[in-house]
Amino acid sequence: MYLTDAEKGILDGKRGEIAQKCMQFLMAYGEAAGAERLVNLDGTVDLHPGQMWVPDYIITPEEIEALAARGERFKVLTFANKSTVPGFIFDGWEKCGTQPNSDPAFHRKCLEPLKPWIQMGMVPTFSCNNYLTASYWPAKGQHCAWVESSAIPWVNAILGARSNFDGCFQTAYLGKVPAYDMHLDENRVATILVECACELKTDMDYDLFGWAVGEAVGLEVPALVGIGKPTTSQLVKMNSAVATGGQVRMYHIPGITPEAPTLDAAFKGRAPKKKIVIERSDLKRVYEMMTYASNDNVEFVYLGCPHYNMVEVQKAARLLDGKKCKTPLWVMTNPLTYKAAQLMGLDVTIEKAGGTLLSGSCPGLLMGEMPPSAVMATDAAKQNYYITGIVYPKKLEVWYGTTEDCIEAAITGKWKGEWR
């Protein structure tokens, strides 16, 4: 991999030991990835605070604390994704009902290692969809280093900025990343035409459609036609599903996404390698795969994967208004939406119904620390499909359906959702 003289200087230790270690990581990573050079980030970083992709190149908590203490800053604007500190819930932890998460001493212990990151400039957004509350987006064409299934298609496809799945301390500190894959023009061109032959109506339809597309195209770049005018909630759900059922980092919606004013522009005038048609029956097949339960006695309901936005929190609160839940119900949002929901009293509405509004985590990230249950229900394909692996070897049944189906299950304790 080619390095500029300044980059070689960093590798030789001219900007200190930590910068040198960060550069050693970027070198090893870039070489293994087949990158030819580094690129300076002119966009943003989204990272999981506390996480190191490759522990051999760890920057230790003590080292980060020392950097923060001497006033060092991240080179580019950096947002916090969910913290990987085990058990960390940002808001509502006092009421979550599980241990050790609801213990104040435990919560303080989780917050402590995050402080130096914040001191260095990391915005404490603590969310898988921090881009919804970020207050600042990278512009089209800017180079970024982000993480998270639903966020990678957001940065590439929706914003037209450029990112691989590699946000981390090192990229934020040096403001550099190996220039390959999604950073290069040729890898962003559509290769597969995906035609949606059915009308996508509900948020769940977009979740199922995204999964079906992901499964069909893997790492390819699809152009999606016939998908209507997806809302923000629907795009976030679809993004989460394309990058779980498959590994879609980039797609085009001709006429909607910034790099595809037309279908022809999405393919840069080339012919698609393949054309795929998604029918209603494909959505039903994914729905059935997500229905991983036979016992209709639901014991726990989880909503908020990806973290619920304000429209979704409001919808959940309205469905719960004046009702009483028979099962524990978690509604998970991001910290800034939580604050706004509190001002609107939505946390109280949810609580009066017996549910809990939380922020900054999810059952998967909590390694299955959730209200004890053998049967759960959720409205997210991603959480549904991972949670059974996360609790392994424990057996867990998981129902999948619309938000309405899930809330009805929380109120009645019975699953009544079905394919409609």
Partner 1 sequence: MAGETKKIILKGRKVIGGIAEGEALVSKTALMGWGNVNVKGGFTVERNHPLYEVPFKGKVLVFTEPRGSGGFAGYGRTRQFGTNPAAFLYRKGNNLTVFAAMNMKVPTVTDFDQDPTAVIETGDYVRVDGDNGIVEVFKK
Burial of 165 (0-12, 13-18, 19+ CB in 10 A): middle
DSSP letters spanning 225-256: ES-----HHHHHHHHHHHTTTS-----B-TTT
| Nearest distance from C-beta of residue 223 to partner 1, angstroms | 19
> Going by C-beta distance under 8 Å and a sequence separation of 6 or more, which residues neighbour residue 189?
221, 266, 267, 268, 270
> What are the residues binding partner 1 (CB under 8 A)?
28-29, 32-34, 48, 53-56, 147-149, 164-166, 181, 214, 218-219, 243-247, 249, 289, 292, 364, 385-390, 392
Q: Residue 6 in 3-state DSSP?
A: helix
Structural contact between residues 303 and 329, judged by C-beta atoms closer than 8 angstroms: yes
Structural contact between residues 110 and 83, judged by C-beta atoms closer than 8 angstroms: yes
For partner 1, the closer CB: 33 or 68: 33
| Nearest distance from C-beta of residue 104 to partner 1, angstroms | 28
| Nearest distance from C-beta of residue 246 to partner 1, angstroms | 5
| Nearest distance from C-beta of residue 106 to partner 1, angstroms | 22
For partner 1, the closer CB: 181 or 207: 181
For partner 1, the closer CB: 127 or 349: 127
Whole-angstrom distance, CA of residue 36 vs CA of residue 213: 31
For partner 1, the closer CB: 201 or 274: 274
| Nearest distance from C-beta of residue 353 to partner 1, angstroms | 29
List, in sequence order, every residue forming a beta bridge with 378; answer none if it has no partner: 302, 400
For partner 1, the closer CB: 214 or 401: 214
Whole-angstrom distance, CA of residue 124 vs CA of residue 152: 19
| Nearest distance from C-beta of residue 36 to partner 1, angstroms | 13
Please report how the helices 310-320 and 335-343 are oriented relative to each other, as an axis angle in degrees rounded to 10.
50
| Helices assigned H by DSSP within 115-202 | 115-119, 151-153, 169-174
Q: How many CB atoms lie within 10 A of CB 90?
A: 25
| Nearest distance from C-beta of residue 393 to partner 1, angstroms | 8
For partner 1, the closer CB: 6 or 54: 54
| Nearest distance from C-beta of residue 362 to partner 1, angstroms | 11
For partner 1, the closer CB: 182 or 193: 182
Q: How many residues does the chain have?
A: 420
* DSSP H or E stretch at residue 9: helix 5-11
For partner 1, the closer CB: 128 or 319: 128
